[in-house]
A and B are shown apart, each in its own frame.
Chain A
């Protein structure tokens, strides 16, 4: 029978033996440690398999944690960033709009200073309520000194004339409306005619002399002879000459300089003939070409 004392004594002996063995191994010279190292290498190969498995699991746990479980902070950060992005986009749009408005108003101011006539700036507040007429509503009226038949211009050129004026607003019939008519002049040949709108949203100059040397590309300006426009304001460029037999006059299609779909601010010319002298041209003249020397087609 083995007594507890015997077991305790046996244990003590085993521990003492192991301690001595470790001490002996530590004290072994390196040359004698080679068998141990060889055994250790084999052990390492075997131990590497579970080590890799554990490392793979550990890595997986890390991935799961970082990608899925620890996302609370990322989600909040993402939310904040999205808010910042939306705010910055709004701010950017506002700044762009301000820049565009600034450019537009600066152009209008430059035109106002350049024109030697009294003008009033107005803002476009609406379009014609029907699809049958091409007109815009501006926010100035008789209380601001406007009257029927005054001309409206933008830095690009003329846009139309006032057909109805009320206290606080007025209706501008656009140049491209067929009911509108403005006295025009081909800048190069000095031929006069009447500019009116067409159904296609363009303009046409009529009643040009049959022997006129007008060609495609010629610029058309206001003649200042009638209506509310002073002389020399740009209307557009001739793109097509219409010459029909048995007609006494030429007519030509014009692409207007102004973009009538994007009018936002206009200047209304309140007194086109204030000065007795012929005013200087507010827009640069077309440079003379060889055709001016009397060349005929």
Chain B
């Protein structure tokens, strides 16, 4: 059941990202819905599920991308892992934490994508890329993630019991 739900999520998120998110782009920048979803899964469901969903989502995202490399396939599980590990020692998931985490992970993702793009194609100015893509997208991802979290809490108000000090 859970597998089917995650499969449906992957098959839903990427088409939405491709076909619909252009409508809410701000100055040509769209939020990375896959990144937000993977991080929220990491925060709510733990790192294992986040890594697996990240793999599937990154792979699907790369299928539809004009990129020659498989950057998202590598990045998304790592982001899910970091989000999952970060939530382990949390007792309360606060807005500020989610905001900072998403901002940081999106900055990390953007920087790695810039490096990958520079390695596989003509080099671009890092500061230009940071100003035009990395920073705006990180801010947008963080805000988008907060909104998604708010909606999730409306739908399912309680977070699972904290997993502090429960390392296997």
Contacts and interface: CB of A to CB of B under 8 A. Distances in A.
B121 A128 contact: no
A128 B64 contact: yes
Nearest to A160: B66
Contacts of A135: 65-66
Please classify the interface of chain B as helix (H, G, I), strand (E, B), loop, or mixed, using the class held by over half of its residues. helix
A76 B28 CA distance: 45
A126 B18 contact: yes
Contacts of A131: 28-30, 32, 133, 137
A218 B3 CA distance: 58
Interface stretch (A66-74, A170-178, A276-284): A170-178
A294 interface: no
B121 A129 contact: no
B125 A128 contact: no
A269 B14 CA distance: 28
Nearest to B32: A130
Nearest to B114: A132
B29 A133 contact: no
A164 B122 CA distance: 20
Contacts of A164: 63, 66
B128 A199 contact: yes
Contacts of B18: 125-129, 137
B66 A134 contact: yes
A166 interface: yes
Nearest to A162: B66
Nearest to A180: B66
Contacts of A174: 66
B133 A132 contact: yes
Contact of B64 (A134, A137, A177): A137
Contact of A133 (B34, B65, B128, B129): B65
Interface string B77-121: 000000000000000000000000000000000000110010011
A179 interface: yes
Contacts of B63: 164, 166
Nearest to B13: A129
Nearest to B129: A199
Most chain B Cβ neighbours within 10 Å, of A128, A132, A177: A132
A152 to B, nearest CB: 12
B113 A129 contact: no
Given A126-B18, A199-B128, A179 B65 contact: no
B122 A133 contact: no
Contacts of B129: 199
12 contacts: A125-B19, A129-B14, A129-B32, A129-B61, A130-B32, A131-B29, A137-B64, A163-B66, A171-B65, A173-B66, A178-B121, A199-B128
Given A128-B66, A166-B63, A171-B65, 12 more contacts: A126-B15, A127-B19, A129-B17, A129-B64, A130-B65, A131-B30, A132-B117, A132-B133, A135-B66, A177-B66, A196-B122, A199-B125
